[in-house]
Amino acid sequence: MRDLRVEVDGGVATLVIDRPQARNALARQTMRELDDVLGSINESGARVLVIRGAGARAFCAGGDLKELEQMRSESEAAEMAREMRTTLDRIPQLRIPVIAALNGDAFGGGAELAVACDFRVAARHARISFAQITLGLMPAWGASERLAALVGRGRALYILFTGEVMSAAKARKLGLVEAVCSSESFDDALRNLAQKIAAAPPAALAGIKASVNAVRAHHNPEAAGDTIAAFAKTWADPAHWDAVANLERRRRDR
């Protein structure tokens, strides 16, 4: 694979988004590779899957705007959103636990990936933001429903309307992140946690995940059509492209 690395050790599979030059942002190729990995991870024999970014700066900075800005029409945006939502919906359907390891910032689509996982562990320096609103967009990959399930309706709306950049500590207080580790010991703490879970019987892990999902499912396929259509409209709207242009100007002026 070009953009992802998968390492399996002692029952723990670690999927690394390896695009540090783009703050581990998701290009279309990355999205396709992610779908392939999630579709075949059961064959690896892993008992736990950890998803993280390369390096220490970013878990995932969202979609790769430099590539995705070539995609202008509603139909193209809807196709991308439908494919990526389908990919993330694979995660709750897997029998094994999936941990989002926030080794750094999770913004936009990166935050969507994080909340699609079964739970989240963050380094203290990591930040999380559903920053889509700053680009005139809305989440398209299921994050609205997943976020509301995690933090409640009012908090979800506040987070999505403001695009607030939250520290790992604040995200934990809100129930968005389950554990925060010191940045220096993050890798060791993550390894120990994943190995501890992987040591449990697979049937017990699968049963626990299925029973919790039955109480509060983290994917709502019946909501996908309307959400994707609404996202596609915001993507093609001139307000979105004005916001993208303003963002690029601010980056050049730094």
Task: Return the CATH number of the domain spanning residue range 4-202.
Answer: 3.90.226.10
**What single string gives the DSSP state of each residue in 154-192?**
HHHHHHHHH---EEHHHHHHHTS-SEEE-TTTHHHHHHH
* Per-residue pLDDT tens digits for 67-121: 888 888 999 999 999 999 999 999 999 999 999 999 999 999 999 999 999 999 9
* CA 186 – CA 177 distance, rounded (Å): 14
What pTM value is reported for the model?
0.94
* Per-residue pLDDT tens digits for 133-160: 999 999 999 999 999 999 999 999 999 9
The ranges assigned to domains in the chain are: 4-202
Residues 2-25 have a mean pLDDT of: 96
Please name which of 117, 63, 109, 64 lies closest in space to residue 89, comparing C-alpha atoms: 117
- Tokens 């689509």: give the residue: 109
